[in-house]
Amino acid sequence: MSRLDSFIRRVSAQRDCLNLAKELIADIPGPILELGLGNGRTYDHLRELFPDRDIFVFDRRVAAHPDCIPDDDHMILGNITETLSSAVGKIGEEAALAHCDIGTGENESNARLITAIAPLVDALMLPGGIVCSDQEYSVASWVAQPLPDGVRAGRYFINRVER
């Protein structure tokens, strides 16, 4: 499969999973967390899906399209493990949804990062909240949810926080 076809399948899966997540958290209050702003496409989609919710975005630096950059109160810059550790005070309440799209393309690097941030993301989530991610996380209190039709297992992940 070409890299272009792989990219299209990945972003289509991402969109479909986030659209499903909207339904899964319809009755769960709380803000949205976006780990990895990138060029801002997913943040822009989250704004469309959740116009009445605060969306807090975490990244090392801003490199997004100018129309897709959160305001200073919702953009949290710095090392992800440090910013997630101190995020409770910034976001003010536990989150209903976290979207984690911070994979580096290097399996070993991804594994180290996921191991470091998994408990930090878990600590920021409401019971019943949803975590959508491009990488598989192993958290005891997270239960894998069925993927939308057309999304191949292992392409994207949806977990419900059950504690």
CATH of residue 89's domain is 3.40.50.150
Reported pTM: 0.95
C-alpha–C-alpha distance, residues 55 and 70, integer Å: 8
Beta strands per DSSP E along the chain: 32-35, 55-59, 75-77, 95-100, 125-133, 142-144, 157-161
CB atoms within 10 A of CB 16: 17
Note every long-range contact of 133-142, with CB atoms under 8 Å and residues 24 or more positions apart, other chains counting. 133/99, 133/100, 133/101, 133/157, 133/159, 134/10, 134/14, 134/100, 134/101, 134/102, 134/103, 135/100, 135/102, 135/103, 135/110, 137/100
Q: Which range of residues forms the domain containing residue 67?
A: 3-161
User: Which candidate, 39, 42, 53, 40, places its Cα nearest to that of 19?
Assistant: 42
Q: Report pLDDT digits (tens) over 27-62.
A: 999 999 999 999 999 999 999 999 999 999 999 999
Burial of 76 from C-beta contacts in 10 A (0-12 / 13-18 / 19+) = buried
**Distance of alpha carbon 24 from alpha carbon 47, whole angstroms:** 17
Which letter does DSSP use for residue 153 in this model? B
What is the pLDDT at residue 45? 98
The band of 69, judged by pLDDT with boundaries at 50, 70 and 90, is: very high
In total, how many domains does the chain have? 1
Q: Give 76-108 pLDDT, tens digit per residue.
A: 999 999 999 999 889 999 999 999 998 777 888
Using the 8-state DSSP alphabet, how is residue 163 labeled? -
Q: Are residues 38 and 14 in contact, defined by beta-carbon separation less than 8 angstroms?
A: no
